[in-house]
Structure 1
Amino acid sequence: MPLVCVCSPKGGVGKTTLAANLAWSLARAGSKVLAIDFDVQNALRLHFGVPLNDGRGFVARSEEQADWSQSILTTGGNLFVLPYGDVTEAQRERFEEKLAKDPHFLRRGLDTVLNYPGLVIVADFPPGPGAALKAISSLAEMHLVVMLADTASVSLLPQVENNRMTGQPLNNQSGHYFVLNQSDNRRNISRDVTAFMQQRLGDSLLGVVHRDESVAEANASQQSVYDFSPASAAAFDIELIAKRVASILKISVGNGEVPAPIRSTHY
């Protein structure tokens, strides 16, 4: 059960878009993939065609259901999404309090999916430190830290390097890696930051995603970049990152027996 956490020390870096397209890429390669949203913005579901007015999710139901898998939605095929859902401020606060105070709360909620054979989980988190990111650290096999090719991201590198995201090393299993998003060869500062990050991060920089208008257009149409523009630069870049993730985690794709379907709800 490989679990990949997609996070960032800052917002607006395209983290959720990358998480969604990473899930799409791994599913296209043959893996059964579950995308989980831990961000109160509840935006991850929109990348999988879930209607804007569909407020279902696991956070509100976690107050009455220990098994969060009952809130899974299927997009068809071997790709599933577990939305955060529409919640009140009080519900959000209670959920985060349980995450912070009950060390077994998250594991209980995800027990079914954590034990599902062959399932790859891609989890999206709100920017910066947070209760969910800290709670899931012991379960995660990899963290992907998304940064932009700009000076603000460079200034925030110490937050990751000095363990300020969770108060401890970000990942003790397969490690944490970086993805540099929206690198633009037409802009001097973007080229300079990309070159600096490549030199500074070395092998821990898993990939660079070049700026591509196809991504924004795919988001607007609630499609993956692969469905919207399969020959685009971003589609190529993210697919390469997905292959590297699969290699590091030794994810076998397209092989073996297909297990029984995940319990889920169609939308």
Structure 2
Amino acid sequence: MPLICVCSPKGGVGKTTLAANLTYSLARAGSKVLALDFDVQNALRLHFGVPLSDGRGYVAKAADSYDWSQNVLGASGNMFVLPYGEVTEQQRIDFEDKLSHDEHFLTRGLGSLLNYPGLIIVADFPPGPSAALKAITPLADIHLVTLQADTASMSLLPHVENHRLTGGALNSKQGHFFVVNQSDNRRQISRDVTAFMEEKLGEQLIGIIHRDESVIEANASQKSIFEFSPASAAAFDIEIIAKKVAAKLGINVGDGTVHNMSRMSGL
């Protein structure tokens, strides 16, 4: 059960879009993949065709049920999504309090999913430090830190390296790696920041995603970039990142039997 965490020290960098399209890319290669949303914005579900009006999710029920798998929704093919859900402010506070103070809360909630044969989990987190990111870090196999090719993201690199996201090492298994998003060859500042990131991060830079208007249009259509524009630059870039992640985790994509997850699809 590989667990991939997609996080960022700041918002608006395309983190959720990367998490969604990474899910699509790994699923296209034949793996069973679950997209798990830890962000109160509850936006990850929209990338998988879940209607805006559908407020189902696991957080509202987390206090009453240890097994969150009953809230999993089937997306398409071998993809699944576990939405955060529409919640009250008090439900959010209660959830984060349990994450912070009950060391077994997360493993109880995710237990059946963490042990599901052949399942890859791609988890999306709110920007900056969060109770969820800190709680799940010991279980994670790899962290992907998403940044934009701009000076604001560049200035936050020390926040990651100085452990400000979790208060400790970001990943003790396969490590943490960076993705630079929306690199624009037409803009000098973007070229300069991208070059700086390449030099500064070295092998920790797992991929660069070039600015591509198709991504915005795909998001508006609630489609992956692979469905909307499979020949686009962004689709190529994300596919390469997915292959590198799979290689680092030793994932032989497409080699497992596709099990029936309908019993925990929530449908």
Question: Following TM superposition, by how much is the alpha carbon of 1:254 offset from its aligned partner in structure 2, in angstroms?
Answer: 1.4
Identity between Structure 1 and Structure 2 (%): 70
Looking at structure 1, the residues matched to 266 and 256 of structure 2 have their Cα atoms a distance apart, in angstroms, of: 25
- Within-5 A mapping of 1:40-189: 40-189=40-189
- Equivalent residue of 1:265, what SS? coil
Looking at structure 2, the residues matched to 227 and 259 of structure 1 have their Cα atoms a distance apart, in angstroms, of: 24
Contact 2:118–2:256 (Cα < 8 Å) also in 1: no
Unpaired segments of 5 or more residues in structure 1? none
Looking at structure 2, the residues matched to 136 and 258 of structure 1 have their Cα atoms a distance apart, in angstroms, of: 26
Question: Following TM superposition, by how much is the alpha carbon of 1:259 offset from its aligned partner in structure 2, in angstroms?
Answer: 2.9
- Equivalent residue of 1:36, what SS? strand
Q: 2:201 corresponds to which residue?
A: 201
Q: 2:9 corresponds to which residue?
A: 9
TM-score normalised over the length of structure 1: 0.98
Question: Following TM superposition, by how much is the alpha carbon of 1:261 offset from its aligned partner in structure 2, in angstroms?
Answer: 2.4
Contact 2:163–2:169 (Cα < 8 Å) also in 1: yes
- Equivalent residue of 2:92, what SS? helix
Looking at structure 1, the residues matched to 125 and 206 of structure 2 have their Cα atoms a distance apart, in angstroms, of: 19
Looking at structure 1, the residues matched to 35 and 2 of structure 2 have their Cα atoms a distance apart, in angstroms, of: 12
Q: 1:39 corresponds to which residue?
A: 39
Question: Following TM superposition, by how much is the alpha carbon of 1:260 offset from its aligned partner in structure 2, in angstroms?
Answer: 3.5
2:239 maps to a residue whose letter is E
After superposition, the C-alpha distances for 1:134-181 in whole angstroms (9 at most, x for unaligned) are 000110000000000000111100000111110000000000000000
Looking at structure 2, the residues matched to 253 and 160 of structure 1 have their Cα atoms a distance apart, in angstroms, of: 30
Contact 2:31–2:256 (Cα < 8 Å) also in 1: no
Question: Following TM superposition, by how much is the alpha carbon of 1:255 offset from its aligned partner in structure 2, in angstroms?
Answer: 1.5
After superposition, the C-alpha distances for 1:234-260 in whole angstroms (9 at most, x for unaligned) are 000000000000000011111143334
- Equivalent residue of 1:127, what SS? coil
Looking at structure 2, the residues matched to 153 and 122 of structure 1 have their Cα atoms a distance apart, in angstroms, of: 22
After superposition, the C-alpha distances for 1:173-204 in whole angstroms (9 at most, x for unaligned) are 00000000000000000000000000000000
After superposition, the C-alpha distances for 1:102-156 in whole angstroms (9 at most, x for unaligned) are 0110110000000001100000000000100000011000000000000011110
Number of paired residues?
A: 266
Looking at structure 2, the residues matched to 142 and 129 of structure 1 have their Cα atoms a distance apart, in angstroms, of: 17
- Equivalent residue of 1:17, what SS? helix
Looking at structure 2, the residues matched to 91 and 256 of structure 1 have their Cα atoms a distance apart, in angstroms, of: 37
Looking at structure 2, the residues matched to 113 and 66 of structure 1 have their Cα atoms a distance apart, in angstroms, of: 12
* Deviating 4+ runs (over 4 angstroms): none
Say if 2:261 is the partner of 1:265: no
1:264 maps to a residue whose letter is S
Unpaired segments of 5 or more residues in structure 2? none
Looking at structure 2, the residues matched to 108 and 247 of structure 1 have their Cα atoms a distance apart, in angstroms, of: 29
Q: 1:22 corresponds to which residue?
A: 22
Looking at structure 2, the residues matched to 45 and 161 of structure 1 have their Cα atoms a distance apart, in angstroms, of: 30
1:265 maps to a residue whose letter is G
Looking at structure 2, the residues matched to 229 and 77 of structure 1 have their Cα atoms a distance apart, in angstroms, of: 19
After superposition, the C-alpha distances for 1:3-52 in whole angstroms (9 at most, x for unaligned) are 00000000000000000000000000001000000000000000000000
Looking at structure 1, the residues matched to 76 and 184 of structure 2 have their Cα atoms a distance apart, in angstroms, of: 34
